[in-house]
């Protein structure tokens, strides 16, 4: 099994410590499986404590044996949870010597019950939300990470080809999705694309056609699809795919923890003038975004530019969902999770740095008719950007 370099853990921790200093944190506790993996190389159950300076410790509940084998940082047994505060004070007297120590934690994902237990078990800490700091650090990827996302892109491309070659009129959305998922799974897709947002679930994306693709959705994306039932209201349904309707193939996979996300539009037959116009506007927005995507560019400006282009094309109310169900972004960071930072959205004004990876996904929704669009994943380079997505960028007409 390919393993990342031990240096990754050191570099990431130092970057986090810089971010912690900016926020005045004296330490940071990471509790989420994905965060643990990012900093240690293992996602066994436990807690990682990162002090403001010096080395972190991974306190493991289960399995300690496996964590010891995988982790690149100091790794010890957690022991009794109620003694955790005493253990931290013993290991990090310079942090917990005076109270209260301002400690960050991943409060956007940590359950409230655990948070309340932590406030009791570690009474010498005063807690703050470290999720923004954690997300900023993770937004810039290492060469190892970019390589992993590229590997996932290869798998997604092969799955798209397999899906398209099996696509037939009358086949259900679910049948098409099952072909794509099976291709990805055999190639090592872990089975889901991890998503940070509460109550958000996505396995391999959204494959949906015609009006089913255009149904409003709880999903924090431009098109969620109808899904199988109110108990699984996302992605593919059992609706047959028909001629002359747009087929949205928004897929991704997760290889060794790293995720790709891409969208292509297909049709058996042809699309109406209206849909072709929207599809071409997606292409134009992708081209324009590629031209602007470079170090120093502001994520929010990329979104505003796309909004302008949608407006100029007369498609404002169809852009990124329809009417009241529109989402307010053009794209999103991606890596260990599918909803990483930065979002290409209002509120994200920090200039982009080399190594940042974003999925750009201009889409247009026509209620009762369908969704058309494109999505590519890019890494920001020293001078511009490079597509990580491998699939040919075209409207697939069968």
State the residues that interact with a copy of itself by CB under 8 A.
Answer: 1-3, 31-33, 37, 41-45, 62-66, 70, 105, 107-116, 129, 131, 174-175, 177-178, 181-182, 185-186, 188, 190-192, 198-199, 201, 203-204, 215-218, 228-233, 235, 238, 254, 256-258, 324-325, 336
From the CB of 216, what's the least distance to a copy of itself, in Å?
Answer: 4
Distance CA 14, CA 308 (A): 40
DSSP string, 20-83: HHHHT-SEEEE-SHHHHHHHHS---EEEEEEESSS--EEEEEE-HHHHHHH-SSEEEE---GGG
Structure tokens at 165: 């070659």
From the CB of 108, what's the least distance to a copy of itself, in Å?
Answer: 5
Of 105 and 302, which CB lies nearer to a copy of itself in the complex structure?
A: 105
Of 192 and 345, which CB lies nearer to a copy of itself in the complex structure?
A: 192
| Angle at 395 (CA atoms; ends 392, 398), nearest 5 degrees | 105
The answer to whether the peptide bond before residue 178 is cis (omega within 30 degrees of 0) is no
Distance CA 23, CA 61 (A): 29
Q: Nearest CA to 373 among 253, 269, 261, 294?
A: 261
From the CB of 14, what's the least distance to a copy of itself, in Å?
Answer: 21
From the CB of 131, what's the least distance to a copy of itself, in Å?
Answer: 7
Distance CA 380, CA 382 (A): 7
From the CB of 264, what's the least distance to a copy of itself, in Å?
Answer: 21
Residue 333: DSSP 8-state: E
Phi, psi angle pair for 218, to nearest 5°: -70, -20
From the CB of 285, what's the least distance to a copy of itself, in Å?
Answer: 23
Of 228 and 276, which CB lies nearer to a copy of itself in the complex structure?
A: 228
CB 214 within 8 A of CB 371: yes
Of 91 and 108, which CB lies nearer to a copy of itself in the complex structure?
A: 108
Q: Within a 10 A sphere around the Cβ of 4, how many other Cβ atoms?
A: 17
Q: Nearest CA to 328 among 357, 294, 304?
A: 304
Of 32 and 389, which CB lies nearer to a copy of itself in the complex structure?
A: 32
| Angle at 385 (CA atoms; ends 134, 141), nearest 5 degrees | 25
DSSP-derived pairing of the beta strands 45-51 and 331-333:
unpaired
Of 42 and 265, which CB lies nearer to a copy of itself in the complex structure?
A: 42
From the CB of 207, what's the least distance to a copy of itself, in Å?
Answer: 12
Of 80 and 231, which CB lies nearer to a copy of itself in the complex structure?
A: 231
Of 52 and 189, which CB lies nearer to a copy of itself in the complex structure?
A: 189
From the CB of 172, what's the least distance to a copy of itself, in Å?
Answer: 9
């Amino acid at each position: 099994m390919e393993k990342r370099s031990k240096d990754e853990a050191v570099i990431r921790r130092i970057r986090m410590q810089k971010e912690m200093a900016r926020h005045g944190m004296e330490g940071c506790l990471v509790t989420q499986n994905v965060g643990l993996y990012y900093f240690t190389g293992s996602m066994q159950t436990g807690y990682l404590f990162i002090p403001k300076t010096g080395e972190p410790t991974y306190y493991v509940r289960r399995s300690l044996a496996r964590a010891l084998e995988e982790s690149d940082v100091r790794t010890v047994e957690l022991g009794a949870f109620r003694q955790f505060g005493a253990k931290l004070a013993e290991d990090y007297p310079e942090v917990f010597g005076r109270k209260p120590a301002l400690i960050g934690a991943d409060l956007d994902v940590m359950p409230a019950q655990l948070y309340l237990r932590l406030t009791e078990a570690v009474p010498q800490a005063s807690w703050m939300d470290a999720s923004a700091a954690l997300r900023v650090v993770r937004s810039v990827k290492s060469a190892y990470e970019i390589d992993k996302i590229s590997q996932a892109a290869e798998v997604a491309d092969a799955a798209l080809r397999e899906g398209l070659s099996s696509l037939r009129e009358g086949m259900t959305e679910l049948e098409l999705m099952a072909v794509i998922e099976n291709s990805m799974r055999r190639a090592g897709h872990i089975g889901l694309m991890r998503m940070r947002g509460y109550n958000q679930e996505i396995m391999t994306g959204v494959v949906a056609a015609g009006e089913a693709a255009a149904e409003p959705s709880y999903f924090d994306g431009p098109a969620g699809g109808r899904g199988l039932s109110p108990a699984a209201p996302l992605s593919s349904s059992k609706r047959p795919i028909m001629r002359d309707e747009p087929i949205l193939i928004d897929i991704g996979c997760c290889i060794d923890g790293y995720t790709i996300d891409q969208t292509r539009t297909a049709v058996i037959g042809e699309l109406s003038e209206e849909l072709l116009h929207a599809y071409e506007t997606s292409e134009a927005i992708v081209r324009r975004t590629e031209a602007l995507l470079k170090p120093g560019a502001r994520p929010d400006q990329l979104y505003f530019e796309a909004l302008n282009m949608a407006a100029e094309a007369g498609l404002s109310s169809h852009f990124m969902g329809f009417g009241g169900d529109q989402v307010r972004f053009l794209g999103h960071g991606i890596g260990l999770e599918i909803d990483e930072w930065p979002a290409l959205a209002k509120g994200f004004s920090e200039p982009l740095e080399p190594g940042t990876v974003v999925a750009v996904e201009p889409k247009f929704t026509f209620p009762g008719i369908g969704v058309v669009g494109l999505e590519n994943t890019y890494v920001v380079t020293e001078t511009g950007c490079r597509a990580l997505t491998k699939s040919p960028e075209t409207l697939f007409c069968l």
